[in-house]
Amino acid sequence: MTDRAYVLFEEEQAARGIKLNDVKAKLKGLRIETPSWGYGDSGTRFKVFQKEGVPRNPFEKFEDAAQVHKLTGLAPSVAIHIPWDKVDDYGKLRSHAEGLGLTIGAINPNLFQDDDYMLGSITNADAAIRRKATDHLLECVDIAKETGSKDLSLWFADGTNYPGQGNIRKRKAWMQEGLGEMYKALAPDMRMLIEYKCFEPAFYHTDLADWGMAYNAALKLGPQAEVLVDTGHHLPGANIEHIVAYLIDEKRLGGFHFNSRKYADDDLIVGSVNPYELFLIFYQILSAANDRDEAIQACVDNIAYMIDQSHNIEAKVPAMLRSVLNVQTQFAKALLVNHDEVEAAANRGDVLGAEHAVRSAFEFDVNPLLRAYREEQGLSVDPMGAYLASSYGKDIAVRGKGGASW
Ligand code: PSV
Ligand code: MN
């Protein structure tokens, strides 16, 4: 049943040149990958609080992820982290995922929790450690082949804490060498998504500190290497949407790790701190999607939207629901931008008019639209309410405490 608020909203948008049927078709295309580690226990360096009902193994993580997808229709794939999600038989994990209506998404190698990697993994001065780290990258390519995953999501903790601790230029060459060996092992339809981060756990220099370094590494590797933007990995004040527009224009934006930050890499629920930033990221993406250049359109179509969060104090499944719903809300708002209006204002030098044309889309209440869209898709109109009213959160309590960390 179409509610009155929707009818009024449709009229209001039509008067601005926005057709809600087109908006709904685009909402249908939004897919957000959730991370297996977002369902496990996690914490800060001060304390990991153990929660009742946390999945005890990768199979149970997929069961929780299936709830998020069932209620929202937004999250059909789950990224896994090796060795946190190491299993004897990846074919079995894949069938389990598929039986739940999910697929296994990006494979994330882990090169930061082994004592050997204290001074670096693929940038370690010790050749034997570099070999071990590179072998893990190759192992992850093999796992991706078994799970049917197309993306390898790469984050390195490598860096130094003090001047002189490492030779920055040699480490740069070792980084490229290790990545190059991995690149050669990729199947033709696989991608390496290279993530950057300016600090932490290394506090003097990070081997891939910013988007420019990740972009340069990707460029040297070849077309199957792209940049991954984690929204928490920038210095305060960085204009992330500018980075996004730039990387799309270079056809090298591979994906996102969405999360919110107030101070550093806080890994809070995306959209909880600065929803306008998330909206502006989508505004840039959607404005590029209108580009006539097919390569730019292909880049936009292949952006992997992923969540990368740790839910330290909040219940994990509703936290993930909140996250994907926040992304959907800002995406829906960005779909209301009239790009012709923005461009016309910019072209006549109307600064306030152009800014208004962007911001006014953000200020609309998209709830009537999202309710109507969900109803049409046979989804729950209020996914969070439906989850809280269900017994799932109570049922999983039988798992007890002490489930998987990450
Ligand atoms: C650490 O900062 C981190 O959050 C990176 O963003 C990775 O993507 C993630 O951990 C998983 O390895
Ligand atoms: Mn990340």
- pLDDT tens digits along 223-277: 999 999 999 999 999 999 999 999 999 999 999 999 999 999 999 999 999 999 9
Q: Which domain holds residue 143?
A: 31-337
Q: For residue 228, how far is its CA from the centre of ligand 2 (angstroms)?
A: 8
Shortest-distance Cα residue to atom 8 of ligand 1: 155
Does 390 reside within a domain? no
Q: For residue 85, how far is its CA from the centre of ligand 1 (angstroms)?
A: 15
High-pLDDT (> 90) share of the chain, %: 98
Q: For residue 388, how far is its CA from the centre of ligand 2 (angstroms)?
A: 28
The overall pTM is greater than 0.95:
yes
Does 228 reside within a domain? yes
Does 370 reside within a domain? no
Shortest-distance Cα residue to atom 5 of ligand 1: 155
Does 64 reside within a domain? yes
Q: For residue 42, how far is its CA from the centre of ligand 2 (angstroms)?
A: 15
Burial of 367 (0-12, 13-18, 19+ CB in 10 A): middle
Q: For residue 309, how far is its CA from the centre of ligand 1 (angstroms)?
A: 8
pLDDT for residue 406: 83
What CATH number did the domain enclosing 148 receive?
A: 3.20.20.150
Does 351 reside within a domain? no
Low-confidence ranges of the chain (pLDDT < 70): 1-2
Does 92 reside within a domain? yes
Over the chain, what is the mean pLDDT?
A: 97
Q: Is 207 in the pocket of ligand 1 (CB under 6 A)?
A: no
Q: Is 197 in the pocket of ligand 1 (CB under 6 A)?
A: yes
Ligand showing the shortest atom-to-Cα distance for residue 257: 2
Give the chain's domain count.
Answer: 1
Shortest-distance Cα residue to atom 2 of ligand 1: 265
Residue 228 CA: nearest ligand 1 atom is 8
Q: Is 256 in the pocket of ligand 1 (CB under 6 A)?
A: no
Ligand showing the shortest atom-to-Cα distance for residue 109: 1
Could you give the CA distance from residue 352 to residue 329 in angstroms, rounded to a whole number? 25
Q: Is 261 in the pocket of ligand 1 (CB under 6 A)?
A: no
Q: Is 234 in the pocket of ligand 1 (CB under 6 A)?
A: no
Q: For residue 2, how far is its CA from the centre of ligand 2 (angstroms)?
A: 40
Does 19 reside within a domain? no
Q: For residue 201, how far is its CA from the centre of ligand 2 (angstroms)?
A: 13
Q: Is 108 in the pocket of ligand 1 (CB under 6 A)?
A: yes
Does 386 reside within a domain? no
Of 155, 208, 234, 311, the one to substitute when testing ligand 1's pocket (max ligand atoms within 8 A of C-beta) is 155
Predicted confidence (pLDDT) per residue in 367-378, tens digit: 999 999 999 999
Q: Is 406 in the pocket of ligand 1 (CB under 6 A)?
A: no
Q: Is 257 in the pocket of ligand 1 (CB under 6 A)?
A: yes
Ligand showing the shortest atom-to-Cα distance for residue 230: 2
pLDDT for residue 82: 98
